Amino acid sequence: MAEQVESRPSPVDVHVGARIRLRRTLMGMSQERLGDALGLTFQQVQKYERGVNRVGASRLFDLSRILDVPISFFYDNMPDSMVGPSGVAQQNRPAIQGFAEQQEGFGSDETFTKRETLELVRAYYRITDPNVRKRMLDLIKSMGPTDD
């Protein structure tokens, strides 16, 4: 009898899925609407977004057109721990010392996938007057801690 091997999603597939979710959410698009555009069910879109199902090349091409981003968008901000010096994904490459600590907190991938962050960004870009948008940005900056 063969042993069952627990299969986990590849970190690259999880990253690509998170980028799909990020862009879809920023556009205010539901999983169902994206699924309809791709000819899939929303459950299949969920599996892509969680990295459970790997996104093939033709599907990634379709996603880039529907979500109006270049294909490279799905690989942007990939942690160095997944990318080798040549830019090739490497799952077992050790992280750069000190890099992980810099990724925690603000600026981490987790920050940019929170619904609150996405809603804030969408609301900000719905402000059509650039002067009002700049004043809003200045107000938000003034409310946070100062950088020393």
The structural domain count of the chain equals 1
Q: In terms of residue numbers, what domain contains 51? A: 8-78
Residues in contact with 15: Cβ distance below 8 Å, sequence separation at least 6, in sequence order: 51, 75, 78, 79, 82, 109
Q: How far apart are CA 143 and CA 2, in angstroms?
A: 59
Q: Considering the domain boundaries, does residue 52 fall inside one? A: yes
Computed over every residue of the chain, the mean pLDDT equals 79
Instruction: Indicate whether 30 belongs to any domain.
Output: yes
- The predicted model scores a pTM of 0.62
In a domain, 132, yes or no: no
* CATH code, 44: 1.10.260.40
Question: Mind listing the pLDDT tens digit for each residue in 93-141?
Answer: 343 333 333 333 444 556 666 778 878 888 888 888 989 989 988 898 8
Provide the residue type at 20 as one letter.
I
Q: How confident is the model at residue 82 (pLDDT cuts 50, 70, 90)?
A: confident
Task: Kindly state whether residue 63 falls inside one of the protein's structural domains.
Answer: yes
Whether 13 is in a domain gets the answer yes
- 34 close to 24: Cβ distance less than 8 angstroms: yes
Spatial distance between the Cα atoms of 101 and 108, rounded to a whole number of angstroms = 10
Give strand pairing partners of 83: 89
φ, ψ for residue 9 (rounded to 5)? -60, 145
